[in-house]
Amino acid sequence: MLKYALLGFLNYQPYTGYELKQTMDVSTANFWHAKQSQIYMTLKKLEAGNLVTSEIEPQEGRPNRRVYTITQAGRSDLQSWLSKPITQLEPHKETLLLQLFFSARQDKATLLTQLRLLRDLHQQQVKHYKIETKAVVQDFAASTGLGKDALLWDATRRFGEQFEAMTVRWLDETIAMIEETF
């Protein structure tokens, strides 16, 4: 899957592995992230499969850059993935829910403290989406002039914002339930 994140970005313009990591960190990281080392390895695999090519750009006083460019085969592969509809939902993993599921014998006060702390973390995330992520989307849109793209980028941002807001509401309900009935 990281494969398609990388091809997706390379479909706009050539990038180095380092730049791809930075770009992902301020854009797709909210719903698709990767470590630097994994990006380098995946790019190597993509090149082995002729989906991208690379060339080294020498630099002075800095390490050389390896710049990757998508190939025609890469564009086809990306296109084919994009047009393939999702027909079944993938299961999620939520550590928080796993913990909560087994917490019936935990101390009530401790449990409440943990959940309140988490509530604040998620509340911060709501702000993060409303402010930082919002700004990034607008900057991208202004600098690239990609209107349609910006609308979809903002749709993914709204998903994040609404997910976090929903989580805060759910935590509030859950905290209230534990306060009352435990």
Partner DNA sequence: GAATACATGTAAAATGTTACATGATTTT
Partner DNA sequence: AAAATCATGTAACATTTTACATGTATTC
Residues that bind DNA (CB under 7 A): 1-3, 16-19, 22, 33-38, 40-41, 43-44, 59, 61-67, 93
Encoded tokens for 32: 């698709």
Amino acid (one-letter) located at 39: I
Site map (CB under 8 A) of its own copies, residues 129-148, x = contact: -----------------x-x
Encoded tokens for 180: 């009352």
CA–CA distance, 23 with 29 (Å, rounded to integer): 9
By CB under 8 A, is residue 169 in contact with its own copies? yes
CA–CA distance, 34 with 13 (Å, rounded to integer): 20
Write out the binding residues for its own copies, residues 85-114 only, by CB under 8 A: 85-107, 110, 113-114
Q: How many residues bind its own copies (CB under 8 A)?
A: 69
Binding partner of residue 76 among its own copies, DNA, none, CB under 5 to 8 Å per kind? none
Contact 68, 47 (CB under 8 A): yes
Pairing of strands 65-70, 52-57: antiparallel
Contact 157, 137 (CB under 8 A): yes
SS3 83: helix
Binding partner of residue 31 among DNA, its own copies, none, CB under 5 to 8 Å per kind? its own copies
Contacting residues toward its own copies, per CB under 8 A = 1, 4-5, 8, 11, 27-33, 78, 81-83, 85-107, 110, 113-114, 117-118, 121-122, 125, 146, 148-149, 151-153, 155-156, 158-159, 162-163, 166-167, 169-170, 173-174, 177-178, 181-182
